[in-house]
């Protein structure tokens, strides 16, 4: 388990993820916005 949390903002164009989901994310080649850096 992880003892620290990190908040990341990710792009989900189809809105498939819900609060509490465990997901695998990857870094985007370039940022979509100032906050969105992963998908």
Report which secondary-structure segment, H or E, holds 37. Answer: strand 36-38
CA torsion 32→16→7→38, rounded to 10°? -30
Q: Which domain holds residue 29?
A: 1-39
Is the Cβ–Cβ distance between 26 and 37 less than 8 Å?
no
> DSSP 3-state assignment of 10?
strand
For 1-21, write each residue's pLDDT tens digit.
Answer: 667 877 877 888 899 999 889
CA torsion 7→17→24→29, rounded to 10°? -70
Tell me, what's the pLDDT at 14?
92
For 19-29, write each residue's pLDDT tens digit.
Answer: 889 888 888 88
pTM: 0.48
Cβ within 8 Å of residue 28, ≥6 positions away: 11, 36, 37, 38, 39
Overall number of domains in the chain: 1
């Amino acid at each position: 388990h992880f003892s620290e949390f990190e908040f990341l903002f990710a792009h989900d164009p189809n809105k498939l993820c819900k609060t509490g989901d465990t997901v695998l994310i990857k870094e985007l080649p370039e940022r979509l916005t100032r906050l969105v850096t992963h998908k």
